[in-house]
Structures are given as C-alpha cells and as structure tokens.
Amino acid sequence: MRMNRYEEIWLILSVGVLVLSMVVTGYQTFAQGMGPPSEMETIDPQKVDETEPFDNPGVFEVGENEYEVVMTLQAFSFTPSDIELPVGAEVTFTMTSKDVIHGFQIAGTNANAMVVPGHIQTITETFDEPGEYLVLCNEYCGAAHEMMSTTITVK
Amino acid sequence: MAAKKVFKEKTNKALGVNPDDARLTLTYFSLAFIILFIGGTLGLLQGLNRAGLLELPAWFNYYQVLTAHGILLILIFTALFMVGYFYAALSHTLGGLIPVVRKMGWTALGLMLIGTAFVVTTIVMDEATVLYTFYPPMQASPWFYIGLVFIVLGVWAATIGVFTSAASWKKRNKGEHLPLLAFFAVGAFLLLFFGSIGVTIEVLTLIPWAFGWTETVNVMLSRTLFWSFGHTLVNVWYFTAISAWYVIVPRIIGGRLFSDTLTRVVVVLLVILNVPGGFHHQIIDPGFTEGLKFMHVFMSLSIAFPSLMTAFAMFAVFERTGRKKGAKGLFGWVKKLPWGDVRFLAPMIAMIAFIPAGAGGIAQTNNQLNQVVHNTLWVTGHFHLTVGTTVVLTFFGIMYWLIPYLSKRELTPKINKLGIIQTITWAVGMLFMSGAMHWVGLLGSPRRTSYTTYGDNATALSWDPYLFFLAIGGTLLFIGGGLMIYIVFHLMFKAPKGDTAFPIAEPEDGASPTPKWTERWGLWVVLAIAVISMGYLVPIVDLIFNAPPGSPPFRTW
C-alpha cells in the first residue's frame, strides 16, 4: 500500500505525541509513584465489620504527620465522617464497601478511586493547604446517592 | 469504464430502491426517532433538574430518568439507526437484500422491541433503577436483564443478516471486492458481535442471581465484562458515522474517495484494536496491578491510530476537491465547500467536534489524567461531544438524503434551510452543555448525581453557574431534537415526490487497485481474538481465581 508523503509525516508526528504521552504516564507511574489506586487485597464483603482493620474504622496517626484513615463506605455515608487533620499531613485512606460500588473523590484534589465490595482500596493524599475539603461519592449507589458526602477539615 | 459507470447509475435510477427494503429501513428509522424524542425529553428533564431549576416527582425520580435516558439513547436509538442505515446501504450497494436477510432484519427488529418493552417497563415500575451500566451488586428485576438479552439477540440476528448478505454477494461476484459501504457494514457488525460477547456472559450470570437461584455475584468480573462491551459500543457508532464520512461526504461535495485501500485498512484496524479499549474505564479500580493498567494505556491509545488516519483522509478530500474547483492558497479550498448544503454541514460539524472529542479521549486514556476526571461531569461532557455531536450529527446528516431516497421524495430548499437551523441549534446546544460539563468536571463536580449542594458546601455551590449553562445547552438540544424529528417525518411522508440518489463516491481516476489481502476476514478475526485475549485473558483469569467471596444483592433505590 502506497501512502501519501504528507500522510506519513502526519502519522509519524501523531504517533510521536501518543508515545510521548505514554512515556510521561509510565514515568509518573513507575518512577514517581503516582500510579492509579490499584490495591490487590480482597475481603469478604459480608464480614467487613468483623475483619481487621475495618472492625475499627477511624483516623490513626502512624508517623510524623502521617495518618491512616480506615474507612468504610456504605449507602449513603462514609465512616468515619467529618474528619479533621493537621496541615501538611500525608494521609493514606484504606477503604472498602459494605454494600454496592461507591466512588471516593476529594473535590479539588486528584484523590479519586473506585471502592468495590470485596476489594480493599487505598489512596494517599497530602494536604498542604488548610481548608475544608468536600468528599463525595461519585458512583451512583442508590436513591440518596447525591447525599453521600462528608468533609475533611485541614487546620 | 465511464460507460460502465453511466450504465450502473442508469440501472440504479431505473430500478431505484427495492420497496421491501425501503419499508424495513424506514420502519427502523421511524422507531429510532420516536425513541430519540422520548430519550431527548428525559435528557431535558435531567439537565433542568441538575441545574436546580426543576424538581422531579418521587414516582419518576432523577435516577429513573437517567436510566431510561441512557438505555434508550445509547442502546436502542443507536442500534435501530445502525441496523436501518446499514441494511439500506447493503440493499443499495449489493443490489437488494436477499429474502432471508430481509427476514433477519424484521426478526431483529422484533427481538429488539420485545427487549425494549421489558427494559422500559421495569424502569418505569422503579424495579430497575440501576443506570445503563447496571453494576452489580445493585440488583434489578430479572426481567430487566432478560430484556437486555432480547436486545442482544436482536443485534445478533441483524449481524447474521449482514454477514449472510456479504457472503451471498461474494459468491455471486467471485473475485470482486465487496463494495466499500458493505465492507464497513461487515466491520461494524463484526465489532458489535465481539463487543457483545462479554456483556452477554455477564447478563447470563446476573439472571439466575436476580431470580435468587445463586446467592452471590463476582462484582469486579461483572464490571470488567461490562466494559469490554461498554466502550466497544461507542466505536461501533463511530464506525457507522465514519462510513458516511469516507463514502458519502466526498460525493456530496463533488469529490472522490480518498483511497479505497486506506479506508479498508482503517476498517480492519478498528475491528482488531477496539475491544480492550474499554479497560480505561477501570483505571482507578482495585484488583488490577499498575503494570496491567499501564499495558492497557497502550492498548487504548492504539485505537487513536486509525482515527488519526481518518482525520488526515477527510481533510485531504476537502482540500483536493476544493483545489479541483479552483481554490488557491493554503486555505482557499475552505470557501469552495458547500456550507449551505445541510447534507455536508451536519457531518462537517460532526468531524470538527471530533477533534476536541478525540483529544479528550486520548487524555482520559492516560492513567494520571484519568484519575483527575474519572466519574466527574467531564466524562459526561466527553460522551456528549463524541456520541451526542460527532456520531449523532452525522446520523442526522445521513437522514437528509437517505430518507428521501427510500421514500422516493426530495429534499426541498426549504427543508434544507430548516436543516441548517436544526444543525446549528444542535451544535450550539452541545457546545454549551458539553463545554459546561467538561469545565465543571475538572473542578470536581460528579456525574450521575441528582441536584445537590452537599449541604450548601462552598465548593459545591461554586459549580452552580456552570450547571446553569448545562441547562441552557440541554434546552437548545431539545429544540434541535424536536426540529430533527419533524424533518425526518416530513421527509418520509410530506416532501414532494422525486428521485434522490444514494450518494456514493467513486475512486480517483487512475487510483491504484485495492489489494486482495484487505478481504482476508478470517485473518482479521484471528488477530482481533488475539488482541482481545492479550487485553483480557490475564485480568479475567485473575478475577475468577483470586476472587473475594461474592456479593449478595442490594436494592438501594
């Protein structure tokens, strides 16, 4: 098949852009540790309340300005809710769902993850700016889905 | 050669369209546009609700409206349109449908309508408010899933009809290339078939679960099988649209095909590369490793390649045609294009919309960018730009000549003018709506969510002005949609009698002949299966063998 000369140039340039975007994505994922939330651990979705660490959800200080938030999501709430954290805290959210699929999104940040029953999901976010952050469920989970939200106050 | 062409056109005119085939396609189109009207009305209600301008009653709430809007427009409207259009294309290019294929066409319609009836009834009864993605463990009425099975069976019946048509023509015309539009039909239905396998397996596991015969369901497996279909479907519509870009639009502007060979290569690539592209909907899911997700970035991006070939081909045709008409300078050809002809204007705006739409798609494919916009209104905006604008405006553009061709009527200057108003109203409506959705999505406003201010949260309140633009766009779209439905039925029953041609572009004089290997469908099928396995074998085996205990059903609405 003979190709038009300009077409070849066009395709080489566009493939170049695609490859570049892949290189950037790969570099961010594997060199900078910015990969998407991809926790592999599973859990019995009917025994969340009896399984560690979800038998005791809450905010735990695990290091110097390092926190872990153990969280369950259920229609239509986050446990714990109305979380308070100090400025600069690096927070790992360890989450699972007790019923259907939920979304976990902290508006105004890049923290965004699917929380699926039977699977544990983790995501880490550092809060450098003080203020009140809106946390919401961004996957339709039922009649009061639009009410499913909470806040993180960073002081 | 020239004499042969004249002869072909004369017979075409003398014989015209087979009335039986015309009736089949017109029935499909009538139903498609009735569905568009219902789905569009539901869309308007949603837009107004989301902007806080309208409160929906409890007996027909936002999520019910959203479920119906999604399923009616994404599954039913597009499927009806696609089958109607490609059956007309097969009838025209292959010299009429053979009786068994026509029968398949009617059977397909019957099955799809039975399916639609089940699905719509369960949604209206509030027994299936699960959105068109119906993610378990949210459990709808088993009749909802059974309805989906009927829809898939309808699609498969139509697929068998298309393959039978092509095979029978090949037998009667040994050694000849399948006409290009029929080649597109085979590609599109092959992809639709591959894409629907995963979701069919999913639904067949959901039915016994919904009846209570099995207790639990593998949530991630269902979700993965769904998305092997969910995104492929988008590319099936895109397929339908670009068949008109490649084959019809050049003729309408008085040009020739860009290249028969290249067009066929694009068709083949789209079939081979497409199915694993759906995985990018699961970039921020648990249960898959980062390595697997990164491999899928490559698999999703590869679909951009044939699209980039398409972009070049289309603009090359425009320029070539313009220059033949005497255009000078770098952009002189732009002025030579028939902007006042709605048969050109609608697909042209569709193509222009595909530039930002495709770029947005590439952005979402990359892991970290996806994380920023996942499940925000950005996604809805992207979707309305790709499907709502690129695909649907092309469909509308097809209507202005295909319906008169089938109903033996003419497109009058008056309807052409109304069509231009319709096209612009629709395009501006989408610009407002999709633009507002993209922007507010970047700010974090979630998709698939009824009106809320999250207890007057400051961040949520800051999204409201954009949502207002969304409502304006939705209203314009409703007006544009209404106009289109008027035009469609006017062209079917009221327009003056006359002869309208089925515009098919011819190759350039002296174009190099199409190589034989483009017809090796067996090889394309094997390659497609290899690519699908590469994308899905590892994660699916992993999801089955390392599955958590299953989930019991929930009804959260």
Residue of A nearest to B280 (CA): A36
Residue A131 parent element (H or E): strand A131-136
Chain B CB contacts of A3 below 8 Å: 262
CB–CB of A25 and B459 under 8 A?
no
CB of A38 closer than 8 Å to CB of B289: yes
Task: Tell me whether residues A112 and B374 touch, CB distance under 8 A.
Answer: yes
d(CA B371, CA B163): 40
Tell if the CB–CB gap between A101 and B294 is shorter than 8 Å. no
The kind and range of the H/E element at B474 are helix B464-493
Query: What average pLDDT does the structure give for chain B?
Result: 93
Query: Does A134 sit within 8 Å of B459, measured CB to CB?
Result: yes
- pLDDT tens by residue, B172-186: 999 899 999 999 999
Over residues B458-471, the pLDDT tens digits come to: 999 999 999 999 99
Q: In this structure, are residues A152 and A142 in contact, taking their beta carbons and an 8 Å threshold? A: no
- Percent share of chain B, pLDDT over 90: 86
For residues B132 and B226, what is the distance between their CA atoms, to the nearest angstrom? 10
The residue of chain A nearest to residue B282, with distances taken between CA atoms, is A114
Tell how strand A131-136 and strand A149-154 pair up. Answer: antiparallel
Average pLDDT value for residue range B473-481 = 95
Residue with tokens 């459990």: B139
Contact between residue B423 and residue B344 where contact means Cβ atoms under 8 Å apart: no
- Residue-level pLDDT at B457: 93
Q: What is the pLDDT along chain A (155 residues), one digit of tens a residue?
A: 567 788 889 889 988 988 998 899 899 888 888 889 999 999 999 999 999 999 999 999 999 999 999 999 999 999 999 999 999 999 999 999 999 999 999 999 999 999 999 999 999 999 999 999 999 999 999 999 999 999 999 99
DSSP assignment of B336-396, as one string?
A: GS-TT-HHHHHHHHHHHHHHHHHHHHHHHHSHHHHHHHTTBHHHHHHHHHIIIIIIHHHHH
**Angle at CA of residue B262, ends B258 and B266, nearest 5°:** 115
Residues of chain A with Cβ-Cβ distance to B308 below 8 Å are 10-11, 14-15
The pLDDT, as a whole number, for residue A2 is 64
3-state secondary structure (DSSP) of residue B46: helix
Amino acid at A47: K
Hey, what amino acid is at B126?
D
- Confidence at residue B1, expressed as pLDDT on a 0 to 100 scale: 41
Q: What is the 3-state secondary structure (H, E, C) of B94-131?
A: CCCCCHHHHHHHHHHHHHHHHHHHHHHHHHHCCCCCCC
Q: Is A34:B368 a contact under the CB 8 Å cutoff?
A: yes
Q: Which residues pair with A123 in a beta bridge?
A: A93
pLDDT band at B7; cut points 50, 70, 90: very low
Residue A70: per-residue pLDDT: 97
Q: What is the C-alpha to C-alpha distance for residues B262 and A10, in angstroms, rounded to an integer?
A: 15
In 3D, which of B423, B398, B395 has the Cα closest to residue B411? B398
Chain A with chain B: Cβ pairs closer than 8 A: 218
Are the C-beta atoms of A124 and A90 separated by less than 8 Å?
yes
Shortest Cα distance from A127 to chain B (angstroms)? 16
Q: Which of B287, B298, B556 sits opposite A119 (nearest CB)?
A: B287
Cα–Cα distance measured from residue B210 to residue B138, given in angstroms and rounded to the nearest whole number? 10
Q: Which amino acid is at A69?
A: V
Spatial distance between the Cα atoms of A146 and B66, rounded to a whole number of angstroms: 14
DSSP states along A56-124: S-EEEEEETTEEEEEEEEETTEEES-SEEE-TTEEEEEEEEESSS-EEEEETTSS-EEEE-TTB-EEEE
Is residue A19 within 8 A of residue B264, CB to CB? The reply is: no
Do B375 and A141 make contact, defined as CB atoms within 8 angstroms? no
Nearest CA to A28 out of B368, B178, B543, B350 is that of B368
Average pLDDT in the B220-247 region?
94
Q: Which of A71, A112, A115 has the most B C-beta neighbours within 10 Å, making it the best mutation to test the interface with B?
A: A112
How far apart CA B53 and CA B44 sit, in angstroms, is 11
Would you state the pLDDT for residue A1? 59
**Average pLDDT rounded to a whole number, residues B502-512:** 90
DSSP state at residue A37: P
Q: Would the CB atoms of A116 and B223 count as touching at under 8 Å?
A: yes
Predicted confidence (pLDDT) at residue B16 exceeds the cutoff of 90: no
Q: How far is CA B407 from the centre of its chain?
A: 25
Class of CATH domain A45-154: mainly beta
Q: What is the mean pLDDT of residues B297-310?
A: 90
Q: Which sign, positive or negative, has the C-alpha torsion A109, A82, A77, A120?
A: positive
Q: How far apart are CA B555 and CA B557, in angstroms?
A: 6
For residue B83, the SS3 value is: helix
pLDDT in tens, B268-300: 999 999 998 889 999 999 999 999 999 999 999
- CB count in 10 Å sphere of residue B215: 10
Q: Which residue of A has its CA nearest to B546?
A: A42
Report the gap between the CA of B106 and the closest CA in chain A (Å): 36
Q: B557 CA to chain A: closest CA distance, Å?
A: 4
Token digits for B203? 């639904």
What average pLDDT does the segment B307-331 reach? 91
Using an 8 Å Cβ cutoff, are B332 and B265 in contact? no
Would you say residue B82 has pLDDT above 60? yes
Average pLDDT over residues B150-166: 97
CB contact under 8 A, A2 and B512: yes
pLDDT digits (tens, 9 = 90+) for B181-201: 999 999 999 999 999 999 999
* pLDDT exceeds cutoff 50 at B10: no
SS3 content of chain B, % helix, strand, coil (to 5): 75, 0, 25
Q: Which of A21, A110, A138 sits opposite B446 (nearest CB)?
A: A138
Query: What are all long-range contacts of B366-369, with beta carbons under 8 Å and residues at least 24 apart?
Result: B366/A21, B366/A22, B366/A24, B366/A25, B366/B297, B367/A25, B367/A28, B367/A29, B367/A35, B367/A36, B367/B283, B367/B293, B367/B294, B367/B297, B368/A25, B368/A28, B368/A29, B368/A34, B368/A36, B368/A110
From the CB of residue B523, how many other CB atoms can be counted at a distance below 10 Å?
Answer: 12
Q: Do A46 and B552 touch (CB under 8 A)?
A: yes
**pLDDT tens-digit map of B326-350:** 888 888 999 999 999 999 999 999 9
Q: State yes or no: pLDDT of B14 exceeds 60.
A: no
Round to whole Å and give the CA distance between A97 and A73. Answer: 5
- Tell me the mean pLDDT in the region B24-49: 95
Q: Considering only CB atoms, which chain A residues are within 8 Å of B362? A: 18, 21
